[in-house]
Amino acid sequence: MLEILKQPWPWYIAGPLIGLTVPTLLLLGNKSFGISSSLRHICAACVPAKIPFFQYNWRKEMWNLFFVAGILLGGIVGAGILGNPNAIVVSPALMEELVDYGITNYNNLIPEDIMNWQSLFTVKGFFLMAVGGFLVGFGTRYAGGCTSGHAIMGLSNRQWPSLVATICFMIGGFIMANLILPYILLL
């Protein structure tokens, strides 16, 4: 059984399992699935400022904080106990493209050449981590939720704003990955 858990799961098993969180949360208490809202709950709980955005009953959403803590704990258990020691198989074309961008040192798809503390203080690293993180946070807030909230929960509830947001997420991702990121990686 442990060996099954250590292997990558195909999309037709992992996808429906993720999708089943929607009806489970709805049946267990009419809760909406989404991760980005947990940051607001944490800020409302930890920052006692009189900022109107954080003035609400965050204790009512405590379940979401436990949900996120479970995701974090699951990631730790998954990486520490259930981690697959074998290298992840990547397309040779992708490996060649990474070498063209100067990325030769990567461990299980984490490009250590650009994802480390030293590179945060370079132009490339600053754009990838600081500016990219800000844009993701801004976009999440502007869209009224993250990809998990819109693409999983919103689409399953047939919400028009979630369809628009998911389409925009995909278009933005394609533009970033294919048109902008290659130029940033060449810096």
Per the CB < 8 A criterion, the answer to whether 144 and 111 are in contact is no
- Residue 55, classified by CB atoms within 10 Å of its CB into exposed (0-12), middle (13-18) or buried (19+), is exposed
Question: Given a cut of 90, is residue 170 above it in pLDDT?
Answer: yes
pLDDT of 109: 64
Altogether, the residues listed in the chain come to a count of: 187
Give the pLDDT band (50/70/90) at residue 107. low
pLDDT of 108: 62
Q: What is the pTM of this model?
A: 0.73
Q: In the chain, what are the helix, strand and coil shares in percent, each to the nearest 5?
A: 70, 0, 30
Per the CB < 8 A criterion, the answer to whether 35 and 68 are in contact is yes
Average pLDDT over every residue of 8-32: 86
Q: What is the dihedral of CA 118, 122, 128, 131, to 10 degrees?
A: 110
Using the structure block, give the residue that is written with the tokens 């049946």.
27
Average pLDDT over every residue of 147-173: 90
Average pLDDT over every residue of 126-142: 87
pLDDT of 165: 92
- Record the tokens describing residue 131, joined without a space: 């500016």
Question: Given a cut of 70, is residue 51 above it in pLDDT?
Answer: yes
- What does the mean pLDDT of the chain come to? 85
Per the CB < 8 A criterion, the answer to whether 33 and 167 are in contact is no
pLDDT of 146: 86
Average pLDDT over every residue of 152-177: 91
Cβ neighbours around 178 below 10 Å, total: 9
